[in-house]
Chains A and B, each alone.
Chain A
Amino acid sequence: MKQLSFSTWLTFVMLAIFGTMVAMATQFPPNARFMPFVVGIPGIALCLLQLGMDLLRAPGNQLAENFQAASKAGVPANLVPEEEPEFGPHTVSGELTMWAYFVGFIAAVLVFGFYISVPVMLLSFLRRQAEASWKFALFLAVTATVVLYLMFGVLLRVQLFHGFLTPIVLRALGFEVS
């Protein structure tokens, strides 16, 4: 069985998004569903067209295309480097780690708020991913949080999100939380 590329899977995702949104639009009043139909139905058609093109394209064409592009640019064939692709199996672990950091950070903001999540994320990322020393990572994390507080809390008087848990804990401890 032919292995589907990441791009083809993405096309399936887009098809699902368009399909779901068009299906939901059938429940709207006629005037309200007009634009979703005008956009969504061609969107579905384009996804199907792309899927057709992806599935009909013979494997290995991409390599040939790269060679053609290089030779058109005047690069001799023997000089075309066999570059490792930017993304592939060799990057999956790094990508998943980054996603874990990002989603974890946003989840932490929602639970604990910015002022707790920001230093924790900065410290752990700088220490583990950027391989900074403990002292340097701690210095950057604390400085960034202080700057954040001075900029938003003091200068702009913007109340950053405190999270769902932090206010409850603070109230339980007898602090007043706005």
Chain B
Amino acid sequence: MIDTMFAALYGLVSSPHIMGLMLIAVIFGLLVGVTPGIGGKLSIAMAIPFVYGMDKVSGAVFLLTMHAVNGTSGQISSIMFGIPGDGDDAATTLDGYPLAKQGQAARALGASITASGVGGIIGAIVFAIMIPVLEPVILMFSPAEFFLIALLGISFIAFLSSGKKIVKGLIVGFYGLMLSTIGMDPITGTPRYAGDMLFLWDGVSLVTAVLALFAVPEMIALSTKGGAISAVPMDKGFNYQQLLSGVMDVPRHWWLVLRTSVIGAVIGMIPGLGGSTAAWLCYGHAVQSSKTPERFGKGAIEGVIAPETASNGKEGGSLLPTLFFGIPGSSGMAVLLGAFLILGIQPGATMVTQHLDLVWTLIWALVVGNLIAVGILLVVCRWVAVLTFVNGRYLVPFILVFVSLGCFVSDYQWQNLIILVLFSAIGYGFLRAGWPRSPFVIGLVLGGKAEASLNQALQLWGYSFFLRPISLVLIAMIVGLMVYAFYRNFRPHRANSSVGVNL
């Protein structure tokens, strides 16, 4: 394993092609992270068509790097203007913005960028340490368990992503599963729901579905709301000496950095608990473990470091269920999982038995990508912040052009454009009604695998596969999850304790 580990690192850094792609991915990811209205999920969805034709290592490294560094630049608007880009960054605002108001914006940025990078690297290390621990468990899984894991994944994410909206989340997940049945039936060869429409015989285009569910609704909403993130002028007292002092704050609080990164990585491993949970939990942990908790909320540097390490540390953790079980650890990972499947990367036990080199390459991509991102952002963060002044309405038409191009180029089928409009209507409905959308992608990407696993399990064991020991454990987990969700939903007059996850 040590050989594979270092061979992967050598393969990564010695390839100018991959390093060039990583550099592009870092720059693109950082710009997208700070730009209003374009989140990590959307950026991956838009980039999917452009990784067609790449080999799977290059494509996967490109997309993962872009996703991993997205959050690193997201906190700039939180600190400089007190306006969090998304839920992950809200905790950073509590102490980051007061620091900026005290004329220490550069220090807060230096600390948050470095903490974010270090968190990402430690998250990748935690993932690496977990591989030998999890290997025997993964190898015990058979088609029966993979079918149930797919169901568990959908219920888990529907449950955790939305608290009281579990039924809505499940409907969306089942809708994704239902659409995955469109196309040629794998056993009889019957074209299901496709009729004479040949372009549907291979199933619904994943790229089209992802763009329709995420990109188009977000753009319509962004244009409807309009405006830029920031209307506040930038702090004039920005200087690089302060920035360096912020960077040095991270090693000064190394014990907090280590703890919060590990907590973030572990939270990332639990599907559905996203960056918001990790960031807030670690912010609370920093307050509780501080000898001077009264400083928090007024500009404590630990209040910037803790949520940033945690929210980026979770990326390494969330890669684990995504790659080994096919259950995305977060909504961003759900879109990334779809992209991996398009690239020909099949999550599951084979990732350990046959593609461990790819796993290590992805772990190293997280580490190297974060290092590059920190290096670039520390130099250019001042100017990158200007992007938060861009009016969303200037971005919308360009992104819609990108979306339609991606949709066409993915299969070279004009019919995909019609599918895009139809699915976008449903996707916008989900967004407008506040329904979670991530379970759809999970249902769509896991649907084919679930069906294949179910067929294999039925052929091997008949319906008795439900009685296998691990199957029973998984069924118990699904039932327990449902019972708890419904109990939480229907208990009288209690405040909802849903997790505030931005899925």
Chain A residues near B (Cβ < 8 Å): 5-7, 10-11, 13-14, 17-18, 21, 24-25, 28-29, 31-32, 35-36, 38-40, 42-43, 46-47, 49-50, 53, 65, 68-69, 71-72, 86-87, 91, 94-95, 98-99, 101-103, 105-106, 109-110, 114, 118, 121-122, 125-126, 129-132, 144, 148, 152, 158, 160-161
Knowing A7-B435, A39-B178, A39-B181 touch, does A46 contact B171 (C-beta < 8 A)? Answer: yes
With an 8 Å Cβ cutoff, the count of chain B residues facing the other chain is: 55
The residues in B between 393 and 451 inclusive whose CB is less than 8 angstroms from any CB of A are: 393-394, 396-398, 400-401, 404-405, 408-409, 414, 417-418, 420-421, 424, 426, 428-430, 432-435, 447, 451
- In the assembled complex, which residues on chain A have CB atoms less than 8 Å from the CB atom of B226? 94
Q: Is the CB of A125 within 8 A of B404?
A: no
Q: Is the CB of B175 within 8 A of A43?
A: yes
Tell yes or no: B327 within 8 A of A by CB.
Answer: no
- In the assembled complex, which residues on chain B have CB atoms less than 8 Å from the CB atom of A99? 220, 428
Tell yes or no: B454 within 8 A of A by CB.
Answer: yes
Q: How far is the CA of A122 from the CA of B418 in the complex (A)?
A: 20
Q: Is the CB of A28 within 8 A of B404?
A: no
Q: How far is the CA of A27 from the CA of B308 in the complex (A)?
A: 54
Q: How far is the CA of A34 from the CA of B280 in the complex (A)?
A: 44
Q: Is the CB of B401 within 8 A of A35?
A: no
Q: Is the CB of A53 within 8 A of B171?
A: no
Q: Is the CB of A98 within 8 A of B224?
A: yes
Q: Is the CB of A39 within 8 A of B174?
A: yes
- In the assembled complex, which residues on chain B have CB atoms less than 8 Å from the CB atom of A161? 408, 414, 417
Q: Is the CB of B178 within 8 A of A36?
A: yes
Q: How far is the CA of A160 from the CA of B404 in the complex (A)?
A: 11
Closest 5 A/B residue pairs (Cβ): A32-B185, A7-B433, A130-B393, A125-B397, A43-B174
Knowing A10-B429, A121-B397, A122-B398 touch, does A152 contact B405 (C-beta < 8 A)? Answer: yes
Q: How far is the CA of A131 from the CA of B181 in the complex (A)?
A: 44
Of B187-195, B311-319, B381-389, the stretch lying at the interface with chain A is: B187-195
- In the assembled complex, which residues on chain A have CB atoms less than 8 Å from the CB atom of B434? 7
Q: Is the CB of A94 within 8 A of B224?
A: yes
Give the interface centre of B181, B216, B220, B428 by most chain A CB atoms within 10 Å: B181
**Given A49-B167, A148-B401, 19 new contacts (CB under 8 A):** A6-B429, A14-B171, A18-B174, A18-B175, A25-B192, A28-B192, A32-B187, A39-B181, A40-B174, A43-B178, A86-B221, A94-B224, A94-B226, A101-B397, A101-B400, A109-B404, A109-B417, A131-B393, A152-B405
Chain B residues near A (Cβ < 8 Å): 167-168, 170-171, 174-175, 177-178, 181, 185, 187-188, 190, 192-193, 216, 219-221, 223-226, 391, 393-394, 396-398, 400-401, 404-405, 408-409, 414, 417-418, 420-421, 424, 426, 428-430, 432-435, 447, 451, 454, 495-497
Residue contacts A-B, CB under 8 angstroms, 21 given: A7-B168, A18-B178, A28-B190, A32-B190, A32-B192, A43-B175, A46-B167, A53-B167, A69-B495, A95-B432, A98-B219, A102-B421, A105-B404, A106-B418, A106-B420, A109-B417, A125-B396, A131-B393, A144-B398, A148-B401, A158-B409
Contact of B188 among A5, A31, A38, A114 (CB under 8 A): A31
A155 smallest CB distance to B (angstroms): 12
B381 smallest CB distance to A (angstroms): 27
Knowing A32-B185, A114-B405 touch, does A50 contact B400 (C-beta < 8 A)? Answer: no
Knowing A109-B417, A114-B405 touch, does A28 contact B185 (C-beta < 8 A)? Answer: yes
- In the assembled complex, which residues on chain B have CB atoms less than 8 Å from the CB atom of A121? 397, 400-401
B20 smallest CB distance to A (angstroms): 15
Contact of B220 among A14, A18, A102 (CB under 8 A): A102
